[in-house]
Amino acid sequence: MDNNSLNGGFPQPQPIPQPVPPQPQPLPAQPAPVFPQPAGGVAPFQPVQPQDMMSQPMTPQPMMPQPQGAAPQPVGNGLPLVSSTGVMGQPVDAAAQAAQARIAEEKKHHRHKIIQVIIIVVLAIATITLAAFLVMTKMDLDEKTRDVDGQIERAVSDAKKQQRDADEAEYLEREKNPYYEFVGPEDYGSLSFQYPKTWSQYVSLDAVGGSNFEAYFNPGVVEKVGTDAWGGSGVYALRVMIFNGTTTDDIAAFYKSYVDDGYTVSKLVTVGEASGTRYDGYITPELKGSAFVFKLRDKTVVIRTDSEIFRNDFDKLINTIKYND
């Protein structure tokens, strides 16, 4: 019985033959190229055959110690040692170096930008400050100019007013000339003095029958005269009163309270041909002026101005007083 019978008639599998690897054939020897002999006796470069490199083991070349920071020195065949980590153990990564260079350049550019912004801000602040200073200076100069102009205008206006007042006063003084002469009743001593021609006079009591004498003077028109002993409450440039029966002591007693209270100042004076007492200040409870009181024979004379406006005329007038004693 064969094997096929034993296996149910199926043929037995045959072993698969294994392939035989080809044997390496040695390379035919190549003749070495011949190079011309250089001058100086140095041997020419001999190329290394591939079969020699495969057949001879490589001898590691010694590494020479290098100073720190120095460039790598050629060893063996004259080339620096290069490994997968780079020259002398330093990693070589072109992309990283490029990125670092780009970052450094960006930082430098950013610093330049910051410096430019700072410079621009400083210049802007300086420009605004300078502009504000110039505006304030201009405003102050304009204000001073306006103030100077206003002062000049006021000074000119004041000067013109003063000139007008002076011209008017001069005109009024000229108009007062020539002065008129007043002469009182002969029975009362013929009292006389000079007064401005621009003044009008009004005699309210003419001393007829031994009564008092009263005359009133005023520029232009004399206002209505009262009937009391002092001529009423009107204001007159000049009053001339000759009292028959009233003494200088009576007049002094009337002004005593004014003098004691400091409202009126009294002093003894001699003006013209008369000597008496002058009162300056309040001559009545309502009026401020001046009065001159003196004795004429057995009579008492009171010459008075009711306003300080006429004081200059009053002073000139009493200095021209004359009478027959």
Predicted confidence (pLDDT) per residue in 271-324, tens digit: 888 999 999 999 988 889 999 999 999 999 999 999 999 999 999 999 999 998
Instruction: Determine the 3-state secondary structure of 241 from DSSP.
Output: strand
Between vectors from CA 234 to CA 233 and to CA 240, what angle results, nearest 5°? 100
DSSP 322: B
How far is residue 310's CA from residue 287's CA, in Å, rounded to a whole number?
13
Residue type at position 271: V
Tell me the mean pLDDT in the region 97-119: 87
pLDDT tier at 170, thresholds 50, 70, 90: confident
Give the H or E element holding residue 203.
strand 199-206
Judge if pTM exceeds 0.75: no
Rg (CA), the chain: 71
Residue type at position 284: T
> Is the pLDDT reported for residue 177 higher than 90?
no
> Is the pLDDT reported for residue 31 higher than 80?
no
How far is residue 217's CA from residue 215's CA, in Å, rounded to a whole number?
7
